[in-house]
């Protein structure tokens, strides 16, 4: 080896040679190289397990392998990877000389193959002194994920001079200890003392601190770093005698006074009371804490919080692919789609993925079969993630870990409240439950189990139930069973789907029925409030869908369905999701027929929602026919002035209007509005809707001034009632804008529309259906006013927003794209616009059919652009064909049919008058 520095430092020479070998594979991680080395069959016929972290210690000069076979496994793995020949006898002898010299040079205090401690380096050595390591972190999990982003945040915290403690917090089983172990091993670059402490209880912490105190002489630096001589006799105020608690106290004092860099990992801190007086402090070092807790006692100056969540989708699929690859049952290959589905079903939860992989390997179950079991709520989570198939380097199961957290949460809240609140949460949407749902009267009644009512009778303060519910919610948050956050708007609660599944598994049938009813009551309370904002309504809808999927028939009885179920279809229809609204109404009506007698009001309401969805999807005639029949049944069974009957009458008249029967519809609306005002308040939504449609029919029948004045009066009523920024008020303002424009005051129409769009954008957001409609109509009036540039800009925004909110092939999106093309044609881009409309027409026919109103309207617009471009013959022929189809599908009196007939008559007269 020569006479250089390496000759005086055999361990450095060995590390340098191994590092040069390692650099031949710069793109391969230590984990991957270790796996390859472990798969190598050596000339002796044996295999040797190689640990990835040990490999890093070998190349860093901190440790020497116990066995020479481990060295050769790495050498062979590198040779195979780069495609070179296997090492011959001379190369093997060379490596053996290096290894033996490094092993013999190892200090007497070293453990074989472990980081060497208490052995001073020669000044000439390029290798840094190895730290003293006390305690044993967990080994690498199989198919370990690096999670570089989180690791970088941990390292940044440990390197920050203002940070004394890094807190890794997250639910049990998300991989906090694995991340801490990796940081622990990296800590040897900066720290001279590395201490791993299992911190589940006080005795374990004291024992670890005492061990660290006894190991301090191995630092070998003298002075402050050597508080007692290596022979065990006391030195100054320090000593090695006494029990664990005495030595732990001495160690804590040493931490505060030493200038030796140290890193202490406190793993799995559970009971903060157990840590009283045991937190490590000192300017020379840092501590890293893993815990599921998020208490205020942990969140203090000098603490950097790093939240550890579940895997990303790519990490989860990568883990499964690597973990399952060597164990495919029967030699079959686990397909990526199945692994992605499993990752999704388990919410990318690391502990669950590890247990599921172990179960699949142990039982030989293929992934589709396992997914089928997982999707069956009759199967318990404990049975599908059993203790008999344990996770890698984790002592618990998913259900056991969650139960431990719940037990701890229960100790932080009034008796029984945390578990009861988690029962409600388990039935709702995992990704966002409005806080008001869980803290309202219905939820409090369930959470407190009726105790608050008894307490009120005994003189207990009425606010106690609310405090109990909040304490329960915060206890669940503090133990990372839920996340309670306020993202600048509605305060939300989130829970992992596996926490919810495990909680539902433990609900007896009677308890589950009660929880479903309480959850439905809680959602209905918030949704029915006059000030329920649209973003909140969207969250409530997701929660209601989740509840419906878990409740089975528990929201139905002979008396009827829970009122919450009435809201689902109209909510979707209001967003423009008419296919989903029809599917929801169809499913609920089918279930109602199983539970309710014919003619029951809930059954009539659901069938009416189904009819409305048919109309919204373009089946106007079917909608009128169905609603006419339902109106007769409702009048006979409920009476003509029953609110549900009047709602059916409203929608029947609406679809008569849409079919072109304007005069008949106007009479129906006038009569309905007058009757509704006798039994309902003036600002009741049904009264308002009847008056809106009355005004609209006046306008459609030719009385634009009457329509404008009626909408203006209605807007004033709503501004005094719900307020100027209420969605109902803003919708009426949009209608008022239209009829202002129809009277000829186009500029005022544009300004009024702009106010409505700004309000809807502010209140509902840019992607709400009402905002989309208003922006589209503003674009139209810009075009009518001659501002073609502004019109095209607004049409472009409306089309893009509709595509984002509803999809590229939704009727609303196709409408906006068609109108954008039309106005581009009107601005002079005729050829491009005609071609674009042709493409859109083919899309509309493919998606909706040739008789859909959108398909017919695109054909009309295309003919109009051809006429503007001078191709009169093609335009007239095309428009005549459209008119024939409109009369057949929509009827001769439909507004769009009448418009097309007038246009065709004008064109025909122009051609006849032409020379």
DSSP string, 7-28: HH-HHHHHHHHHHHHHTT-TTS
Instruction: Give the pLDDT mean for 45-54.
Output: 77
Kindly state the helix (H) or strand (E) to which residue 268 belongs, with its residue range.
Answer: strand 262-269
Greater confidence (601 vs 462) lies with 601
- 487 pLDDT above the threshold of 90: no
Task: Give 328's pLDDT tier (boundaries 50, 70, 90).
Answer: low
What pLDDT does residue 237 have? 42
Return the pLDDT at 324: 86
Sheet holding 433-434, edge to edge: 433-434, 492-494, 483-485
pLDDT at 83 over 80: yes
Q: Among residues 750, 739, 678, which one has the least CA distance to residue 714? A: 739
Instruction: Give the confidence band of 451 by pLDDT, cuts at 50, 70, 90.
Output: low
* Lowest-confidence region among 28-32, 328-332, 414-418, 813-817: 328-332
Q: pTM for this structure?
A: 0.72
Average pLDDT, the chain: 86
What is the mean predicted confidence (pLDDT) over 190-217? 93
Nearest 5 degrees, angle CA 689-CA 694-CA 696?
95
Residue 599 has pLDDT above 70, yes or no: yes
Calculate what percentage of the chain has a pLDDT beyond 90.
51
Q: Count, in order, helices (H) and strands (E) of the chain.
A: 41, 11
- The mean pLDDT value for 730-748 works out to 93
pLDDT band of 116, cuts 50, 70, 90: very low
Confidence tier at 363 by pLDDT (50, 70, 90): confident
Q: Is the pLDDT of residue 291 over 90?
A: yes
Order of all β-strands in the sheet with 262-269: 132-134, 193-198, 262-269, 285-291, 165-169, 303-307
Question: Going by DSSP bridges, is the β-strand pair 560-561/193-198 parallel, antiparallel, or unpaired?
Answer: unpaired
Q: 135 — alpha (psi -120 to 50), left (phi > 0) or beta?
A: left
**Looking at the predicted structure, is the pLDDT value of residue 127 above 50?**
no
Confidence check: pLDDT of 393 > 80:
no
Write down the pLDDT at residue 583: 95
Residue 204, pLDDT > 70, answer yes
CA-closest candidate to residue 12, choices 85, 92, 156, 121? 121
Distance, in Å, from the CA atom of 460 to the CA atom of 728, rounded to the nearest integer, reads 42
79-88, 263-272, 479-488, 501-510: which range is least confident on average?
A: 479-488
**pLDDT exceeds cutoff 80 at 697:** yes
Asked if pLDDT for residue 107 goes beyond 80, the answer is no
- Model confidence at 895, pLDDT cuts 50, 70, 90, reads confident
Nearest-5° Cα angle at 48, 45 to 54: 160
pLDDT at 825 over 50: yes
305-308 long-range contacts, CB within 8 A, separation 24+? 305/167, 305/169, 306/150, 306/153, 306/154, 306/157, 306/166, 306/167, 306/168, 306/169, 307/169, 307/170, 308/150, 308/168, 308/169, 308/170, 308/174, 308/175, 308/176, 308/179
Neighbouring CB atoms inside 10 A of 602's CB total 21
3-state secondary structure of 286: strand
Write down the pLDDT at residue 915: 64
With a cut of 70, say whether residue 787 has pLDDT above it.
Answer: yes
Give the confidence band of 458 by pLDDT, cuts at 50, 70, 90: very low
How buried is 914 (Cβ within 10 angstroms: 0-12 exposed, 13-18 middle, 19+ buried)?
exposed
pLDDT of res. 490:
64
The answer, yes or no, to whether residue 454 has pLDDT greater than 50, is no
| Cα–Cα–Cα angle for 318, 321, 325, rounded to 5 degrees | 150
Predicted local confidence at residue 673, as pLDDT = 93
The residue-averaged pLDDT of 909-913 equals: 77
Cβ 114 vs Cβ 65: under 8 Å: no
Mean pLDDT of the 96-107 span: 77
- The pLDDT-based confidence of 327 (bands split at 50, 70, 90) is low
**723 pairs with which residues across the strands?**
none
């Amino acid at each position: 080896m020569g006479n250089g520095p390496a000759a005086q430092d055999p361990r450095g020479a060995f590390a340098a040679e191994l590092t040069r070998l390692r650099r031949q594979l710069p793109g391969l991680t230590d984990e991957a190289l270790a796996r390859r080395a472990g798969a190598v069959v050596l000339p002796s016929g044996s295999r040797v397990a190689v640990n990835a972290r040990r490999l890093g210690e070998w190349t860093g000069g901190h440790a020497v392998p116990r066995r020479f076979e481990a060295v050769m496994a790495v050498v062979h793995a590198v040779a195979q990877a780069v495609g070179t020949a296997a090492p011959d006898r001379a190369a093997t002898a060379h490596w053996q000389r290096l290894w033996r010299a490094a092993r013999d040079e190892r200090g007497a205090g070293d453990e074989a193959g472990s980081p060497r401690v208490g052995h001073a380096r020669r000044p000439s050595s390029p290798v840094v002194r190895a730290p003293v390591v006390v305690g044993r972190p967990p080994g690498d999990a199989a198919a370990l994920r690096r999670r570089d982003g989180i690791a970088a945040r941990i390292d940044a915290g440990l390197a920050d001079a203002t940070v004394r403690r890094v807190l890794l917090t997250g639910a049990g089983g998300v991989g906090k200890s694995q991340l801490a172990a990796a940081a622990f091993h990296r800590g040897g670059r900066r720290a001279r003392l590395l201490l791993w402490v299992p911190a589940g209880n006080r005795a374990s912490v004291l024992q670890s601190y005492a061990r660290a105190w006894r190991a301090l002489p191995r630092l070998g630096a003298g002075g402050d770093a050597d508080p007692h001589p290596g022979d065990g006799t006391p030195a100054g105020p320090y000593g090695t005698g006494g029990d664990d608690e005495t030595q732990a106290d001495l160690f804590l004092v040493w931490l505060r006074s030493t200038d030796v860099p140290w890193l202490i990992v406190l793993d799995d801190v559970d009971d903060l009371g157990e840590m009283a007086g045991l937190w490590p402090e000192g300017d020379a070092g840092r501590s890293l804490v893993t815990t599921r807790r998020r208490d205020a006692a942990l969140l203090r100056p000098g603490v950097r919080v790093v939240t550890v969540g579940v895997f990303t989708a790519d990490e989860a699929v990568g883990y499964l692919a690597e973990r399952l690859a060597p164990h495919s049952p029967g030699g079959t290959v686990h397909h990526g789609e199945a692994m992605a589905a499993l990752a999704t079903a388990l919410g990318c939860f690391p502990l669950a993925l590890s247990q599921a992989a172990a179960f699949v390997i142990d039982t030989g179950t293929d992934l589709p079969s396992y997914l089928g079991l997982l999707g069956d709520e009759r199967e318990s989570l404990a049975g599908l993630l059993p203790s008999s198939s344990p996770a890698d380097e984790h002592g618990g199961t998913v259900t056991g870990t969650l139960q431990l957290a719940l037990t701890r949460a229960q100790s932080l809240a009034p008796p029984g409240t945390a578990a009861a609140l988690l029962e409600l949460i388990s039935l709702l949407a995992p990704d966002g439950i409005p806080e008001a749902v869980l803290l309202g009267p219905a939820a409090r009644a369930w959470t407190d189990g009726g105790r608050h009512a008894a307490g009120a009778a005994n003189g207990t303060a009425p606010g106690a139930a609310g405090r109990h519910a909040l304490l329960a919610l915060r206890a669940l948050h503090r133990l990372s069973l839920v996340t309670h956050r306020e993202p600048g708007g509605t305060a939300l609660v989130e829970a992992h789907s596996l926490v919810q599944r495990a909680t539902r598994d433990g609900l007896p049938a009677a308890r589950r029925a009660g929880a479903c009813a309480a959850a439905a009551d809680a959602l209905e309370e918030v949704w029915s409030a006059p000030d329920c904002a649209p973003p909140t309504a969207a969250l409530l809808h997701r929660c209601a869908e989740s509840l419906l999927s878990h409740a089975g028939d528990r929201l139905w009885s002979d008396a009827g369905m829970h009122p919450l179920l009435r809201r689902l279809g109209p909510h979707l229809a209001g967003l423009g999701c008419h296919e989903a609204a029809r599917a929801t109404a169809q499913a609920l009506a089918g279930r109602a027929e199983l539970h309710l007698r014919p003619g029951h009001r809930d059954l009539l309401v659901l069938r009416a929602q189904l009819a409305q969805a048919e109309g919204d999807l373009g089946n106007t005639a079917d909608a009128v026919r169905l609603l006419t029949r339902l109106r007769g049944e409702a009048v006979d069974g409920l009476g003509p002035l029953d609110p549900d009957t009047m709602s059916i009458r409203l929608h029947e008249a609406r679809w008569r209007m849409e079919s072109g029967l304007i005069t008949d519809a106007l009479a129906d609306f006038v009569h309905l509005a007058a009757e509704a005002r006798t039994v309902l308040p003036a600002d009741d939504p049904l009264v308002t809707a009847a008056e809106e449609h009355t005004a609209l029919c006046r306008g459609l029948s030719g009385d634009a001034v009457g329509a404008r004045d009626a909408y203006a009066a209605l807007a004033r009523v709503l501004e005094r009632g719900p307020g100027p920024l209420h969605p109902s008020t803003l919708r009426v303002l949009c209608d008022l804008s239209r009829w202002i424009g129809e009277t000829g005051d186009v500029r005022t129409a544009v300004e009024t529309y702009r106010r409505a769009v700004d309000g809807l954008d502010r209140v509902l957001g840019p992607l709400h259906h009402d905002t989309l409609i208003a922006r589209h109509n503003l674009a139209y009036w810009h075009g009518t006013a001659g501002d073609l540039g502004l019109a095209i800009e607004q049409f472009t925004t409306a089309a893009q927003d509709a595509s984002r909110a509803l999809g590229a092939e939704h009727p609303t999106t196709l409408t906006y794209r068609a109108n954008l093309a039309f106005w581009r044609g009107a601005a002079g881009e005729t050829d491009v616009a005609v071609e674009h409309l042709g493409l859109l027409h083919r899309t509309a026919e493919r998606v909706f059919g040739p008789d859909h109103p959108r398909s017919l309207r695109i054909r009309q617009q295309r003919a109009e652009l051809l006429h503007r471009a001078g191709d009169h013959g093609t335009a007239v022929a095309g428009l005549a064909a459209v008119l024939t189809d409109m009369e057949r599908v929509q009827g001769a009196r439909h507004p769009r049919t009448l418009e097309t007939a007038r246009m065709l008559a004008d064109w025909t007269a122009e051609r006849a008058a032409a020379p």
